[in-house]
Amino acid sequence: MVRIFKNLTKKEVLLGAISLIFIVMQVWLDLKLPDYMSEITMLVQTETGNMSDILSAGGMMLLCALGSLISSVVVAVLASKISANFGANLREKLFDKVQSFSLEEISRFSTASLITRSTNDITQVQTLIVMGLQVMIKAPILAVWAIIKISGKSWQWTFSTGVAVAYLLIIVSICMVLALPKFKKLQVLNDKMNNVTRENLTGLSVVRAYNAEDYQENKFDVVNTELTNTHLFTSRIMAFLMPNIQLVMSGLSLSIYWIGAILIQNADMMNKMTLFSDMVVFSSYAMQVVMAFMMLIIIFIMVPRASVSAKRILEVLETEPTIVDGTINEPQTSAIGNVEFKNVSFKYPDAEEYVIRNVSFSADKGETVAFIGSTGSGKSTLVNLIPRFYEASEGEILVNGINVKDYTQYALHNKIGYVAQKATLFSGTVKSNVAYGENGKAGFLDTDIVEAVYTAQAADFVENLEDGYNGYISQGGSNLSGGQKQRLSIARAIARRPEVFIFDDSFSALDYKTDRKLREALQKDCADATKLIVAQRIGTIKDADRIVVLDNGKVVGIGTHDELMNSCEVYREIAYSQLSKEELA
């Protein structure tokens, strides 16, 4: 828990120190009040006391109360400033950290959990700071100060205050023992809730089409009921605490006055007055002691939950990404656009089986190398190893003759134009989606964008949009068709002018005619770039310089279409399943 506060900046620590001064001032002013009260009690009861003295003591009480009010407002303002800045800082650090994660770390934490950690967990810690600064520091000072003030007055009164505090502590301890495990559970349940909600929203059309609303609702209800019950449990415990605190406060006042009554009754005439004044003062100090413990209780309620959250945040912040940056930015090499796999094997983290086994091939500048194989044969996995989305378990992957691990990721990604299997677009415009990210060059000119859109065969629909290249694209490209999304994703890769294109089944949503036109345009406009194409359709890859046939993660054939038709049984089967013998001839 304490470790999370190492993320406080110097400015925030300074603001914390300033609030400490105001807290001490507030406690001092609060504790001055009973002194004036005692003075007024004495003045009222003595014959020499006159009105102006009483009024001036009353005026001082008012000033103290006002001063205490101002101090508490200042502390509240400073605390919220510290907490807001700290939260923003922490969110930024978490965001940056998650950005540096490979897909391995993302799937280890789960997307839903990473979202809860960046939102709800940070809010828990923020709330603790706001409350903590105002209460956590104030309560012990108030308690100790008030105890010093009342000690030595009367052992009976002190004893009754001690009993009240002890009772409070016992009740709080019992509640904490019961509630703590539930607080831990709450955050995990929040993750689950987030997960179920996300899954439902992203798959909404399938849910509707399959009349699966009840199924989804049941799934949601299970998590929701568990979350509600856990909340109810902790709230009931807290609800039990509050009346107990009230009981302690009232009971303590009552016992102080009761004890006072007996003491005054047994005292001689001279001491009766002093005892009465002491009783009034003691009771108000005793209330301060109980108040202080009450504040500590509030903190005790918040600390366990916030500390669970802090641990979850630190878990993310302290996770070292498995993909470590290399050092090479600009390789001194003439082998531009060359990609080579040397005996590469790969298995997913925590998986037992290798999904890529001993794969070797190479692609030279300007060549088109295609990958084909049955579903699940490892094609996407294979090409995902080049931009280091995952790290090869064995063997070497070379780009321009240099191991991909030796590049900085920035330099490596600048060489690659990657088009994912599932077209991903971002909310913005056509332009902002095509000129996306950095390409390590001077940036994107408008002409680059237009050329890329033309090469990707997207010009017809883009130029028909009301705002053309400034046409609005909604999140995930949900206002476009599958084929339009794919073409814009391809245009984004082209606009980078990369040395190596990776098309992971990126032509699947295109009709045959557009598929052919796009490949022809690519061949013409990006002749120098190496093209690695994962495809399901023989037609898409028939003209490739080399085709790598994968079966169960292994290479079972490499060659041109004609060579493979003669030599590779797996390829022949795929080819005959798609095209007639006449078409293939």
Ligand X SMILES: Nc1ncnc2c1ncn2[C@@H]1O[C@H](COP(=O)(O)OP(=O)(O)OP(=O)(O)O)[C@@H](O)[C@H]1O
DSSP string, 371-407: EEESTTSSHHHHHHTTTTSS--SEEEEEETTEEGGGB
Tokens coding 163: 């009993």
Which span sits near ligand X by CB under 6 A: 204-212, 347-355, 491-499, 514-522? 347-355
User: Shortest distance, CB of residue 359 to ligand X, whole angstroms?
Assistant: 12
Q: In 509-582, which ranges are E strands?
A: 530-534, 546-551, 554-559
Query: Of 88-96, 223-231, 322-330, 378-386, which part binds ligand X (CB under 6 A)?
Result: 378-386
Site string for ligand X, 354-373 (x = CB under 6 A): -x-----------------x
Cβ 383 to ligand X shortest distance, Å: 8
For ligand X, the binding residues in 412-451 under the rule CB under 6 A are: 421
Tell me the three state secondary structure of residue 541.
helix
- Decide: 399 and 407 in contact? Cβ < 8 Å: yes
- Kindly indicate which of the ranges 79-87, 166-174, 194-202, 348-356 contains the residues binding ligand X, using the contact rule CB under 6 A: 348-356
Distance CA 37, CA 41 (A): 6
Instruction: Give the torsion sign (CA, 38, 40, 43, 49).
Output: positive
**Is residue 71 within the footprint of ligand X (CB under 6 A)?**
no
| Residue 351 in the binding site for ligand X (CB under 6 A) | yes
Residue 16 or 373 with smaller CB distance to ligand X: 373
Residue 192 interacting with ligand X (CB under 6 A): no
Mark 489-518 with x for binding to ligand X (rule: CB under 6 A) and - for no binding.
----------------x-------------
Position 389 contacts ligand X (CB under 6 A): no
| Shortest Å, Cβ 375 to ligand X | 3
Q: Are 498 and 529 in contact (CB under 8 A)?
A: yes
Q: Which of 28, 220, 233, 348 binds ligand X (CB under 6 A)?
A: 348
Task: List the one residue from 334, 375, 577, 580 that touches ligand X (CB under 6 A).
Answer: 375
Distances (CA, A) of 318 to 21, 105, 110, 307: 34, 12, 16, 16
Nearer to ligand X, 289 or 339 (CB): 339
Q: Minimum CB separation from ligand X for residue 553, in Å?
A: 7
Nearer to ligand X, 156 or 421 (CB): 421
Cβ proximity to ligand X, 357 vs 496, nearer residue? 357
Q: CB burial class (10 A; 0-12, 13-18, 19+) of residue 270? A: exposed
The nearest distance, CB 201 to ligand X, in angstroms, is 22
Q: Parallel, antiparallel, or unpaired: how do β-strands 546-551 and 368-373 relate?
A: parallel
Which one among 34, 260, 378, 557 touches ligand X, defined by CB under 6 A? 378
Rounded to a whole number of angstroms, the minimum distance from the CB of residue 485 to ligand X is: 17
Q: From its phi and psi, is residue 394 left (phi > 0), alpha (psi between -120 and 50) or beta?
A: beta
CA distance 230 to 190: 11
Q: How many residues bind ligand X (CB under 6 A)?
A: 13
Tokens of 128: 């603790």
- Cβ proximity to ligand X, 29 vs 555, nearer residue: 555
- When the beta carbons of 338 and 506 are compared against ligand X, the nearer one is 506
| Smallest distance from ligand X to CB 551, Å | 10
Q: Mask 306-345, x = binds ligand X (CB under 6 A)? A: ----------------------------------------
| Beta-sheet pairing, 356-363 with 339-346 | antiparallel
Using CB atoms within 10 Å of the CB of residue 379, give its burial: 0 to 12 exposed, 13 to 18 middle, 19+ buried. buried
Question: In degrees rounded to 5, what are phi and psi of residue 529?
Answer: -80, 145
SS3 478: coil
- 377 interacts with ligand X by CB under 6 A: yes
- Based on the shown chain and the rule CB under 6 A, indicate whether residue 578 belongs to the binding site for ligand X: no
Q: In angstroms, rounded to a whole number, what is the distance separating the alpha carbons of residues 259 and 270? A: 18
Least distance in angstroms from the C-beta of 107 to ligand X: 6
Residue closest to 395 by CA, chosen among 347, 333, 429, 443: 347
Cβ neighbours of residue 117 under 8 Å, at least 6 residues apart?
94, 109, 309, 312, 313, 315, 316
- Count of alpha carbons within 13 Å of 31, Cβ hemisphere only? 24
Query: Any contact of residue 379 with ligand X (CB under 6 A)?
Result: yes
Note whether 376 binds ligand X by CB under 6 A: yes
Q: Are 499 and 529 in contact (CB under 8 A)?
A: yes
Return the range that interacts with ligand X (CB under 6 A); candidates 327-335, 376-384, 455-463, 489-497: 376-384
Q: Which is nearer to ligand X, 368 or 381 (CB)?
A: 381
Q: Is 381 in the site for ligand X (CB under 6 A)?
A: yes
Q: How far apart are CA 454 and CA 332, in angstroms?
A: 33
Nearer to ligand X, 347 or 572 (CB): 347
Q: Minimum CB separation from ligand X for residue 181, in Å? A: 32
Which residue type does 570 have?
V
Nearest approach, Cβ of residue 377 and ligand X (Å): 4
Nearer to ligand X, 59 or 376 (CB): 376
Single out the residue of 380, 457, 506, 530 in contact with ligand X (rule: CB under 6 A).
380
Q: Which is nearer to ligand X, 27 or 535 (CB)?
A: 535
CB of 370 to ligand X, least distance (A): 13
Those residues whose C-beta lies under 8 Å from the C-beta of residue 327, and which sit 6 or more positions away, are 406, 408
On whether the CB atoms of residues 312 and 109 are closer than 8 A, the answer is: no
Stretch that binds ligand X, among 53-61, 201-209, 262-270, 374-382 (CB under 6 A): 374-382
Residues at the interface with ligand X (CB under 6 A) = 348, 351, 355, 373, 375-381, 421, 505
